[in-house]
Amino acid sequence: MIIGSVSENKDTEKRISVTPDNVKKFISNGFKVYLEKNYGEHLDINDEKFAVNGAEIFSNKEKIIKESDILLQLNLPDEDDLRILSPNKNLIGVFDPEKNKNIISKLSGNKINVFSLELLPRITRAQSMDILSSQANLAGYKAVVDAFSFFNKAIPMMMTAAGTIPAAKVLIVGAGVAGLQAIATAKRMGAIVFATDVRMASKEQVESLGGKFLVVEGSENLETSGGYAKETSDEFKKKQEELLTETLKKIDIVVCTALIPGKKAPLIIKKEMIKVMPKGSVIYDLAASQGGNTEFTKADEIVDMEGVKILGDSNLLNKLPISASNLYSKNLLNFVINLYDKKNNKININLEDEIIKKTLVK
């Protein structure tokens, strides 16, 4: 049984799906591993580091795609590469099924099994495979670090003979995995941290990290059974706007993390709200690639709105590609092991397994 992976488009994706450590683990589970030449060179991981752990390196990408029983990627390969895939092969990654519905439907029609891991159910058994959590953790940390680098004042309170510098005040919008990591990071760096979320269940988590939770009336009803935030009503949005507008008058840095799976990011911070923020404030929008949580977010651009800087990356994890790859590749390893019937050396598409059923896209 062959595990394969080919290089991503490095202009948009610097993470890799297989690391040298995981090559060793795949081989110990009975797989062969095929990788494209210079697969990790851009991360200073040369082919020798993969080969010494047992990977076979090929300059012929077509051979890898043709012969691999399981192809591990981050993004959906381009159409020329997908044409090479033959029936009963397995493609695993993060493929945005809503956006790529037609392509995936065609693959499924050709008897190719497509697994998209952002669809994993939020159950205990799936935690080691949860790519959204592993990547969001890093994104929450990096968003705070980047936002602080654009802020022209010190973050912690400093008492000096020349006077006292007050601590920066930070607001985290959305207290999911990324938001909680952002709170923890900002607190460690000495900021005073506030947070808001439509799910009241987040209150205890925010407060356990030292943040102050801002309560919007009606929050307790806005969580799905899967643990995600629901889309809010117009009445709730109005109450949220009033609370945020008042809070933003004293906030130096905002980190937005609010996303609804499979939909455009909710618009939370509007022009009139930005106007009340102190000049020199910074907003980092982690939802930039899905339209943004502010009215003026532009992915990969810094927008200056009346003295407030608004920024966000289309792929923030390209700034932490080694750490992100290490976590992502472990998620993939755990998913493959769950999918693999080692005794009979075959892939077992067991649709009674909730993990397999939810991630298999047709």
d(CA 251, CA 194) in angstroms, rounded, equals: 9
Burial of 165 (0-12, 13-18, 19+ CB in 10 A): middle
Q: Closest Cα to residue 328, out of 117, 59, 182?
A: 117
d(CA 234, CA 218) in angstroms, rounded, equals: 12
Is residue 127 annotated as a catalytic residue, yes or no?
yes
Catalytic residue from among 228, 289, 323, 353? 228
Is residue 290 annotated as a catalytic residue, yes or no?
no
What token pair was written down for 144?
């705070």
Answer for the pair 277, 253: CB distance below 8 angstroms, yes or no.
no
Answer for the pair 6, 81: CB distance below 8 angstroms, yes or no.
yes
d(CA 146, CA 228) in angstroms, rounded, equals: 26
Catalytic residue from among 21, 86, 127, 208? 127
Catalytic residue from among 68, 116, 133, 219? 133
Catalytic residue from among 34, 68, 130, 285? 130
DSSP 23-48: HHHHHHTT-EEEEETTTTGGGT--HH
Q: How far is CA 84 from CA 4, 66, 111, 275, in A?
A: 13, 6, 13, 53
Is residue 122 annotated as a catalytic residue, yes or no?
yes
Q: What angle do CA 122, 125, 131 make, to 5 degrees?
A: 55
Is residue 125 annotated as a catalytic residue, yes or no?
no
Catalytic residue from among 122, 128, 289, 323? 122
Contacts of 78 (CB under 8 A, 6+ apart): 9
Is residue 188 annotated as a catalytic residue, yes or no?
no
**Tokens 């959906």, residue located:** 76
Contacts of 312 (CB under 8 A, 6+ apart): 256, 284, 285, 286, 287, 288, 289, 292, 297, 298, 299, 300
- Quote the radius of gyration of the chain (alpha carbons, Å): 22
DSSP state of 56: E
Answer for the pair 331, 17: CB distance below 8 angstroms, yes or no.
no
- SS3 for 60? coil
Catalytic residues: 122, 127, 130, 133, 228
